[in-house]
Chain A
Amino acid sequence: MTEDTINNKTPWQDLTIGGNIYTAGNAKEFKTGDWRSSTPIFKPELCKQCGLCFPVCPDDAIPVNSDLNREDFNYDACKGCGVCAKVCPFKAIEMQ
């Protein structure tokens, strides 16, 4: 079973017992960012790519590309804890 075959319209006959999920790596399908308490805004013009923000993110909300540069926030995962904004020396992250 995958997330494509089970959703909130699926009749009980087609649900797996105990809500078991028979596919791996499915946590990324679960968008926890929808209960984000506040929103970090990335200001790339102030960012020096120092790399301090993404290691402190408790989730996976700051994507890092193959050049090891951070990109804009992944709001599907961000809870708005503000740790990244606190750690940024250049005020490149503003909490709203």
Chain B
Amino acid sequence: MGIRERLSGNEAAAIAMKQINPDVVAAFPITPSTEIPQYFSTFVSNGQVDTEFVAVESEHSAMSACIGAESAGARAMTATSANGLSLMWEMIYIASSLRLPIVMSLVNRAVSGPLNIHNDHSDAMGVRDAGWIMLFSENNQEAYDNLLMAHRIAEHKDVMLPLMVCQDGFITSHSIENIELLEDEKVKAFVGTYHPEHYLLNDKEPIAVGPLDLQAYLFEHKFQQGLAMKNAKKVIADVSKEFEALTGRKYEFFEKYKMDDAEQVIVCMNSTAGTAKAAVDELRAQGIKAGLLKIRMFRPFPAEEVATALKNAKSIAVLDKADSLNGAGGALFEDTISGMYVSNIHVPTVNYIYGIGGRDTTVNDIKKVYWDLQEISNTGNIGNPYRYLGLRG
């Protein structure tokens, strides 16, 4: 029945990595992810893992080292955050296009500038089209659980894509909360050993990885990547079911919180879902039919499933913790409404940019969104669809 602990999100991620015991971890310290490689390097020094820890000189090199290790046939992991992910950017695409199932723990925070180190999702949104599976986590438990499921998903033969597990910087990464850990041997059995079909260190089959891929080939290879991302949906569902059987903790593409009869619905990701649940509970006590749809699987995006889940709502607010600065709404908003449109589901939907640069988003802020949604439901008037929550002025 698991091990009851209390850990920060960073500690939870580091312990997941310890239990996974990957062959290689390559990382460069960047706040607030710094603690994850720091804790992990302690496990290495103490002989608690067999991992080769590569202390690289930059995040570009961290991802490059993971690519090299994974190509060689090893199971490689890394952890980063914000501008660290930005510096990896070139290699992020190489990792996914070479179909290397590297797993990353990403602690979400603002990509500067002006200089800010606090939580928002601008780092993750910068790589949303890079071909990585992206799982978002409400709290330390989900960050831990998603990491334990990561390799099973990424390394599946129908997938073979890298995967990042996101959690909110500081709000989750540095908050100590209760958590239930799995026993080491159960994790080991669940995650299993990586047996790549083709790898560079196989002396029985010399191969070339990452060759020139010009006009005659790249198109088809990108199509293959897209197909693998579609395949990932079934694999994520299957692995999550198996994980539920093991732990009792249920994970789906998204969590539906009080959605059965919900009329006013918020769609959001990561820690804000916890705040929104408190708001939903308070509003429900007042007879307001508030509901929450928390996206766990952002890539691949469950467009059809999200649309179906939202079809009975009277009004919807999609909360984006990163502004796409395009004058037309954030990334989660765009994905949600395009999924609805394609499924021919038309519900008044607005976008709120919120929490930028670590701006606190309280239960009252979320309640204000629900009240705005009630107004939209009552009047049928959407007004400005591109809104900012808690902006001064």
Q: What residues make up the interface of A, taking CB atoms closer than 8 Å to B?
A: 7-8, 10-12, 15, 17-26, 30
Q: Which of B206-243 contact A (CB under 8 A)?
A: 206-213, 216-217, 220-221, 223-224, 228
Overall SS of chain A's interface:
loop
Q: Which of B198, B208, B224 contacts A26 (CB 8 A)?
A: B208
CB–CB B207/A15 < 8 A? no
Whether A24 pairs with B206 at a CB distance below 8 angstroms is yes
Pairwise interchain contact A15-B212, C-beta atoms closer than 8 A: no
The residue in chain A whose Cβ has the minimal distance to the Cβ of B98 is A18
Tell whether, in the assembled complex, residue B198 and residue A15 are in contact, meaning their CB atoms are under 8 Å apart: no
Hey, which chain A residues are within 8 Å of B220, CB to CB? Answer: 10-12, 15
The complex places the Cα of A20 from the Cα of B160 at a distance, in Å, of 13
A22 touches B207 (CB 8 A): yes
Assess whether A20 is in contact with B198, with CB atoms less than 8 Å apart: yes
- Which listed residue (B98, B207, B224, B228) contacts A21, Cβ 8 A? B207
A8 to B219, CA, bound (A): 11
Most buried by A among B206, B212, B213: B206
Interface residues on chain B, number (Cβ under 8 Å): 22
The residues in B between 178 and 212 inclusive whose CB is less than 8 angstroms from any CB of A are: 198, 205-212
Lowest 5 A-B CB distances belong to which pairs?
A: A24-B206, A8-B216, A12-B220, A21-B208, A18-B98
B98 contact set on A, CB distance < 8 A:
18, 20
**Closest Cβ neighbor of A1 among chain B residues:** B207
**B221 near A22: Cβ-Cβ < 8 Å:** no
B212 touches A30 (CB 8 A): yes
Residues of B within 8 A of A8 (CB): 216-217
With beta carbons under 8 angstroms apart, the residue of B198, B206, B211 that contacts A19 is B211
Q: Which residues of B contact A15 (CB under 8 A)?
A: 217, 220-221, 224
SS class, residues of chain B in contact with chain A? loop
Q: Which residues of B contact A11 (CB under 8 A)?
A: 220
A22–B198 CB distance below 8 A? yes
Residues of A within 8 A of B209 (CB): 18, 20
* Residues A19 and B160 in contact in the complex (CB < 8 Å), given A12-B223, A26-B208: no
Measured CA separation A18–B101 after assembly (Å) = 12
Query: What residues of chain B lie closer than 8 Å to A19, measured between beta carbons?
Result: 210-211, 213, 217, 221
The answer to whether A20 and B207 touch across the interface, beta carbons within 8 angstroms, is yes
Report the nearest B residue to A9, measured CB to CB: B216
Contacts of A21 in B (CB 8 A): 207-208, 211
Q: Which of B111-151 contact A (CB under 8 A)?
A: none
Closest chain B residue to A15, Cβ basis:
B220
Q: Enumerate chain B residues within 8 angstroms of A24, measured Cβ to Cβ.
A: 206-207
The interface residues of chain A lying within 8 Å CB-to-CB of B167 are: none
Residues in A neighbouring B100, C-beta threshold 8 A: 18
Which residues does chain B contribute within 8 Å of A26, judged by CB atoms?
A: 208
Nearest Cβ distance between residue B384 and chain A, in whole angstroms? 43
**B109 CB within 8 Å of chain A:** no
**Nearest CB on A from B300, distance (A):** 17
Query: Looking across the interface, which residue of chain B has its beta carbon closest to that of A21?
Result: B208
Complex Cα gap A26–B211 (Å): 10
Query: Which residues of B267-298 are within 8 A (CB) of A?
Result: none
A52, B223: Cα distance in complex, Å: 49
What is the CA–CA distance of A30 and B214 in the complex, to the nearest angstrom?
12
**A17 to B213 CA separation, bound complex (whole angstroms):** 12
- Whether, in the assembled complex, B99 has its beta carbon less than 8 Å from a beta carbon of chain A, the answer is yes
In the complex, which residues of chain B have a beta carbon less than 8 angstroms from the beta carbon of A20? 98, 198, 207-209, 211
Cβ contacts under 8 Å, B33 to chain A: none
Q: Which residues of A contact B217 (CB under 8 A)?
A: 8, 15, 19
A17–B216 touching, CB < 8 Å: no
User: Which B residues lie within 8 Å of A12 (CB)?
Assistant: 220-221, 223-224
Q: Which residues of B are found within 8 Å of A23, using beta-carbon distances?
A: 206-207
